[in-house]
Structure 1
Amino acid sequence: MVETLAAAVRIGVEDDVAVVLQSLEAGAEIRVGRESVTLRDAIPAGHKFAVRPIAAGAPVHRYRAPIGLAQRDIVPGEHVHTHNVRTALAGENSHAFAGPGAETLTSNVPQAPSFSGYVRPDGSVGTRNELWILPTVGCVGRLGERLAMRGNAAIPAGSEGLDGVHAFNHPFGCSQLGADLDGTAAILASLALNSNAGGVLLVGLGCESNQLDALLERIPEARRGRLRILRAQAERDEFSAGEALIDELLAEMAGDRREEVPLSALRLGLKCGGSDAMSGLTANPLIGLMADAVTQAGGAAILTEIPEIFGAENLLLERSISQDVFDRLSALVNSFKRYFLDHGEPVSENPSPGNIAGGITTLEEKSLGAVQKGGLAPVKDVIGYGERIAPDKAHGGLTVLEGPGNDAVSTTALAAAGATITLFSTGRGTPLGSPVPTMKIASNHALAERKPGWIDFDAAIVLEQGMEAAADALLSRIIAVASGEPARNESNDERAIGIWKRGVTL
């Protein structure tokens, strides 16, 4: 008996494929729009099947755009994946500026509420009031971690103005040269300026390449009031000296209190990892609505992972507000492609094995789903790795940040750029957290049910309750976390940084 199921999703009539919401056997009849398609193959949940014939060599469309080329003739009902579709990406592309993108207002964003945050002297707002310990070099990373444990033990239970002491260990800061060393110094200095850090202790060894004094010069004088430095080799007892500095900072921070601020004060990082074919249907467009809600209120959103823009860059380029922004974004995408090619790697060396298992076939498909995290906000600025968003350019729009797709590296770069919360969509799941609250948005029910300790929000409710209801619910959760409720990564003490290593090691 053939069963007719309404169990597949297609974005638009232009699409050649649809995605199944549950695993289906060959012979099942699937309703797609006004037509029915009989499956010729068993289709795993999240994977695609053809809804019309696709000739060998023809583009295969999903998200109303090509995701690759058919390697052979594909018939309706056939499983569409890596065995019969290949990428069309090859190398660098030329782009022509057609004028500033028209600002598109998203009509179904939730009402912009306020949240309770920490207002800093420069007017920025933190979602946390934490003391961050940043080592200049891996040799003193463990010292920083020991000091953080001591600092947390010194905070009275139920303390209102102190949200914790956290050390961010890493293996770099020495045996680096040139731009590689500069990148390490830049990311650490920018982390020290994040608004979630109510106090910062920089811990140096003394003989490392990443010298404390040079690092300190990257931090504006006006931001050094709650910054202390510890030179381990210069102290007889470096731990006791560090304890004293932590006590000083905690005493200064103890009077800080949250106050109501508008949504425009939020700086939202946008990230995906362990994506599946549902990510572009549920979690990523939902995060895009959050980016629109924040930017339309006057806040800032930051998008990175440049290799996961390949094949979808035109969707961002056409939203550039000026020729300068367009040129810098085009150059950034092409420079990343050149980075791959110069190392003898194809630009399409993505998606990952987990992505493929989840139903993503090509990098174009992954990118078309991933860029939806940026919503429809105008692209107002493009910044380099380790740089911070410029308030005069970032507010009310999207900033594109140079960075790779690696989860630890890109979430760290978002925090260094100024993000005070990061929304992280995932179809496969990950416990990873960054220095700022890193909210995991599941693309499917199965993940949310299987890993409730990792997941902050189940975006699969989009398919049952609709996008607007899901957006209202997610924004309420974001406001709660911004106002102090722990994200899952914080409850699990999952906080780490990853630094982008690009040069030789001495």
Structure 2
Amino acid sequence: MADPEPAPLTEHALLLGPDDDVAVALRDLSPGLVLRHGDLLLTVAAEVPQGHKVALRELPPGTRVHKYGQTIGRTTGGVRPGDHVHAHNLAMDSVDHTYEFGTARVAIPPATERLTFDGYVRADGSVGTRNYVGILTSVNCAASTARMIADQFRGLAMDAFPGVDGVVALTHDSGCGLVPVSDGGRLLQRTLRGYAAHPNIGAILVLGLGCEMIAVDSVTGGAFPADTLVEQLVIQEQGGIRATVRAGVTAVRGLLEQVAQRRRQTVPASALVLGLNCGGSDGYSGITANPALGRTSDLLVAQGATTVLAETPEVFGAEHLLTRRAVSREVGQRLLDRIAWWHGYVQAGGGTLDNNPSPGNKAGGLTTILEKSLGAVAKGGTAELAAVYEYAERVTASGFTFMDTPGYDPVSVTGLVAGGANVVCFTTGRGSVLGTKPVPCIKIATNTTMFERMRDDMDLNAGGIADGTATIEGLGDEILRTVLDVASGRPTVSEELDLGRDEFVPWQLGAVT
């Protein structure tokens, strides 16, 4: 039998940098497949799953392996051309970057066409993309009561209040046994206050038990837009759960009648604060959805808007690319200080930052945190880094910014929303089903296979970039149009499924006594 005719590498795999040592499989590559890469013929030795890496050259043990033109790890054994490169032969490399500050700044010029959306203009000048009544608990002990109140305003009960997006109970697992002046106590209070003052919350009922350490007054004592309607109830003072539910239903009904009078107005796109997050990443994340979202970020920066990258453990290993874009040494050093804090934090918990990626990430083709981070930072486009914020800190700068959050999706997005994000874009390769009330969440699939399998849970498909039917530029423009439509009231698939009530998950730090 004649030897199989070699196929061009580009028909079966993506080469992301001209000097890369690996390419990313566009489909499952079967053993025996012969690929031509320049003058080199390589034979696939064992199955290489879609999204995984195939070696393009001989790589002796201990060789640094490059993807995106950057190091993603070192080989732990000899690798031949055509071999599958993954956890069995590739491991974490030491991170020994020499940091530069502001040496790769790109000032995005203002857009010539000024874009708009229809939002709710608040008294402090912020703009909401939704109009919710929130029920926020100061302590976990009030969670069930809050849900009982909110459940009275689901379905047909909201027909009497057109223009109100709903009543959402924002409950959590903390608030007692946590010293208010501790780092964890301050962080929780900052998160609660951020949600209470969010422009998507037209009115808020703060609900407590009465004996907790993080008391109701510590939440309502924060700064609110002057037009935010605020009520508070304490279960022990009301006489128990039944009495509190009756009082809460009465209070919420009164809030709804007032909030229902508010109307959308046309505002410039500069009023957008777009949270950039990813979850369930795969080998395509850094090739399709993330760079497309990065283009969207740049387009919004050109409009004078704000975009916020997050997930500090998932930029580890690529932080040197962000410090080069910092507007000042101070901003770049602030990012490095947060990375240093994380090293100590995970070490105290018996881990290291290279414990990431997750099993699902690895099944999707990501091997080391270096590889994952290089793809993750692509969500931030090319604009200069204007500011770095701590978790749930109010985002005030325009332009591309960063917030220190964990990589755990609900906790990360909770911080972004508390900081003021009024739309979230969430890229996923494995298939996340996240919702983020009271903020709309646009989910973007990184590959067509997953998009087709989970079509009812995805808003957009970036897989066409790998398929050759779409471009990063074209999809970035489409994401921008979707962001403006969603900001104007178009529901996302998560909202159609009424997701997001359980994804309010404040980051818990410190000892609980």
Q: Does 1:169 align with 2:171?
A: yes
Q: 1:23 to 1:243 in 2, by over 3 A?
A: same
Match of 1:84 among 89, 99, 102: 89
Q: Does 1:191 align with 2:195?
A: yes
1:492 counterpart letter in structure 2: L
How far off its partner does 1:315 sit? 0.9
1:121 counterpart letter in structure 2: A
Q: 1:99 to 1:460 in 2, by over 3 A?
A: closer
Work out the CA distance in 1 between the residues paired with 2:37 and 2:504: 44
Work out the CA distance in 2 between the residues paired with 1:158 and 1:259: 22
Q: Does 1:476 align with 2:481?
A: yes
How far off its partner does 1:402 sit? 1.4
Q: 1:110 to 1:155 in 2, by over 3 A?
A: farther
Q: Deviations for 1:382-415, whole angstroms, at most 9, x for unmatched residues?
A: 111121102xxx21x2221111100110011111
2:509 counterpart letter in structure 1: R
Q: 1:225 to 1:440 in 2, by over 3 A?
A: closer
How far off its partner does 1:215 sit? 2.1
- Give the match for residue 58 of structure 1: 63
Work out the CA distance in 2 between the residues paired with 1:201 and 1:328: 36
Match of 1:398 among 397, 400, 405: 400
- Give the match for residue 378 of structure 1: 384
Question: Once the two structures are aligned, what percentage of the paired residues are identical?
Answer: 37
Q: Is the 8 A contact 2:12 2:25 kept in 1?
A: yes
1:181 counterpart letter in structure 2: G
- Give the match for residue 498 of structure 1: 505
Q: Deviations for 1:10-65, whole angstroms, at most 9, x for unmatched residues?
A: 11112110001100101212354675532122111110011122232121000110
- Give the match for residue 290 of structure 1: 296
Q: 1:267 to 1:35 in 2, by over 3 A?
A: farther
- Give the match for residue 4 of structure 1: 7
Q: Is the 8 A contact 2:136 2:192 kept in 1?
A: yes
Match of 1:465 among 439, 464, 470: 470
RMSD: 2.1
1:504 counterpart letter in structure 2: A
Q: Deviations for 1:327-377, whole angstroms, at most 9, x for unmatched residues?
A: 211111111112112333122111000000100010000000001111112
> 1:24-173 to 2 correspondence within 5 Å?
24-32=29-37, 36-89=41-94, 96-99=99-102, 101-105=104-108, 113-152=115-154, 156-157=158-159, 159-173=161-175
Q: Deviations for 1:401-442, whole angstroms, at most 9, x for unmatched residues?
A: 111100110011111011111111111012121221111110
- Give the match for residue 269 of structure 2: 263
Q: 1:158 to 1:52 in 2, by over 3 A?
A: farther
1:47 counterpart letter in structure 2: H
- Give the match for residue 184 of structure 2: 180
Q: Is the 8 A contact 1:110 1:468 kept in 2?
A: no
1:105 counterpart letter in structure 2: I
Work out the CA distance in 2 between the residues paired with 1:407 and 1:38: 39
Q: Does 1:227 align with 2:230?
A: yes
Q: 1:100 to 1:497 in 2, by over 3 A?
A: same
- Give the match for residue 275 of structure 1: 281
How far off its partner does 1:95 sit? 5.6
Question: Unmatched 5+ residue regions in structure 2?
Answer: none
TM-score by length of 2: 0.92
Q: Is the 8 A contact 2:164 2:259 kept in 1?
A: yes
Question: Unmatched 5+ residue regions in structure 1?
Answer: none
Q: 1:180 to 1:313 in 2, by over 3 A?
A: same
TM-score by length of 1: 0.94
SS at match of 1:60: strand
Using the TM superposition, name which of 247-256 and 268-277 deviates more. 247-256
Work out the CA distance in 2 between the residues paired with 1:361 and 1:257: 49
- Give the match for residue 368 of structure 1: 374
